[in-house]
Structure 1
């Protein structure tokens, strides 16, 4: 199954319900997290809508994923992980994430998705792709932010500087990840937390792959 991550990218420090306040709309696909390489099927389909959301003042950029399970509004931590945030936005604006999937879900831990290989039918390659914008790997920007519920962090392999485009969203506090993965954002609305729970609660295979497939609307 295919997931379309179509996202709004907000470049103003204040957002209201007036769509004219949005400077840029971008399409973005979520990328898979690399805590572990995985293959197999399925997942949630995200569709872009023009629904505007109200946010409080913030100095950081915000991206919004629209899914059939609700939205995921993510505040990006430009001060704490500037290169990671820049890479994420560049990938998003170039449609790199379009048609990738959340392919790995572990209730009580995290949800991950967005490997460009997941656009292909060969599931043996899922979970193994994803370079930074322009190619290569991204240097780690480990910081002191805790991997608490709702945190967005870069996935990687064993080497600290092996992140690329994949990321994960923490479902429940995971302190064992602290200062081991680059935290670069967090979800910021109650609906986002509800959406996180909805996705994390999906039935999965023994390899943490969801049984349920969702079509774009």
Structure 2
């Protein structure tokens, strides 16, 4: 399966035709120390937003912190629904952030392979590896993806969460990335879907990246 990462960056290419480059291998190696120990959805009386708490540990458990994310279902309804379903199913628990790039982002969510080549949508959203022309009955669950919502007006600003995917459209599944407070990767705007904002604990993302 093709690696699902950041399709267009000004940083060294991490994947070439689905194979990690040396830079990508280094990024993956650095990421194995970051574990998503637990994650839960907490509806706190908001009607248009949802709150998610991510419990992170890194450096073999020597460091830990809570990252709180406000999700935007009005702006990215499918992404938020998919993300919440994966959270509620426990799919993210104990997974790693397999890719960490200094001053750029940390990426996780591959709950099947833990290396950036796996993961999938929580349910059928009408796309099979980005193809809307395939029937659900002919699409393996591991190939379930979600449609892009990258034109929602949300930008890749510091302390946001966005969906990772291949360079092809509609190939997001479960992998996501968090942007630290010292990064503004605006070249991703309109390509990857931003679906939430870190409201607390962004310093942990920055420390990791």
Determine the structure 2 residue equivalent to 1:137: 145
Contact 1:153 1:167 in 2 (8 A): yes
The root-mean-square deviation of aligned C-alpha atoms, in Å, is: 2.5
CA distance in 1, matches of 2:39, 2:160: 24
CA distance in 2, matches of 1:177, 1:48: 28
TM-score, normalised to structure 2, is: 0.68
Contact 1:110 1:169 in 2 (8 A): yes
CA distance in 1, matches of 2:47, 2:91: 26
TM-score, normalised to structure 1, is: 0.65
The structure with the greater share of residues assigned to strand is 2
Q: Which runs of 5+ in 2 are unaligned?
A: 7-13, 58-63, 124-140
CA distance in 2, matches of 1:144, 1:78: 13
Contact 1:33 1:168 in 2 (8 A): no
Contact 1:33 1:113 in 2 (8 A): no
2:81 paired with 1:86: yes
Q: Which runs of 5+ in 1 are unaligned?
A: 1-31, 120-125, 201-217
- Ranges of 4+ aligned residues in structure 1 off by more than 2 Å: 36-41, 45-50, 55-59
Determine the structure 2 residue equivalent to 1:108: 103
Count of aligned pairs: 158
Match among 38, 43, 51 for residue 33 of structure 2: 43
